[in-house]
Chain A
Amino acid sequence: DTAVSQTPKYLVTQMGNDKSIKCEQNLGHDTMYWYKQDSKKFLKIMFSYNNKELIINETVPNRFSPKSPDKAHLNLHINSLELGDSAVYFCASSLNNSPLHFGNGTRLTVT
């Protein structure tokens, strides 16, 4: 199936750990995004990559480091996890003027 897929779906970890979330799209899109949805359900852009180049960085702490090995993948690595990082993280992709396609999210819980 053509889609934006994220792994893992759920991630439970302790404060101070380092974790990664992976995202892959097979839609042939050239722009990928990470969004964060907090407990109040607000969806906020974090990063955007276009053809492996960072385009948008919305004042996210530098503990968050996106990596795009190719234009079909955008991974999110988080260092020294904090309680406030608990949220649902959504990956998305788009091409030119097409609508954004979203994955089904990764629910991160930091204890």
Chain B
Amino acid sequence: DAKTTQPPSMDCAEGRAANLPCNHSTISGNEYVYWYRQIHSQGPQYIIHGLKNNETNEMASLIITEDRKSSTLILPHATLRDTAVYYCIVRVPPYTGANSKLTFGKGITLSVRP
């Protein structure tokens, strides 16, 4: 799986959009970009994933650049409960056998301030 790099931390004000960057310059054509987050004292939680097109669900939006070398996770209206470590992970399907695992990096710590 391609490596990802994320800044160690960032903060944003409650109610504002949080834009979390991820660099994956060595991504290959069939690798998907996944985002998970880990709120303190909880297990990691899936947020969203995408291949080329921008994606949106009830939690967040994922913007992937045209060259796919980077992406941004957008939390449109951050709340205090969004304070967590966010992990950007790239994976190539099929996710079976030895390829089924997720490999976590250090992630980015998002602090939402009141």
Contacts and interface: CB of A to CB of B under 8 A. Distances in A.
Contacts of A7: none
Contacts, number: 59
B17 interface: no
A92 B103 CA distance: 13
Interface of B is mostly: loop
A97 interface: yes
A4 B94 CA distance: 23
A45 B101 contact: yes
Contact of A90 (B34, B44, B85, B94): B44
Contacts of A90: 43-44
Contacts of B41: 104-105
Contact of B43 (A45, A50, A56, A92): A92
Interface string B71-114: 00000000000000100000001111110111110100000000
Contacts of A99: 34, 36, 46, 49
Interface residues of A, number: 24
Classify the interface of chain A: helix, strand, loop or mixed: strand
Interface string B12-43: 00000000000000000000001010100111
B45 interface: yes
14 contacts: A4-B43, A33-B100, A41-B85, A41-B106, A42-B106, A43-B44, A43-B104, A56-B98, A90-B43, A97-B94, A99-B34, A99-B46, A100-B46, A103-B43
Given A48-B100, A102-B45, 11 more contacts: A33-B101, A44-B104, A55-B97, A55-B98, A90-B43, A94-B95, A96-B95, A99-B49, A100-B46, A103-B43, A105-B42
Interface of A: 4, 31, 33, 41-45, 48, 50, 55-56, 90, 92, 94, 96-97, 99-105
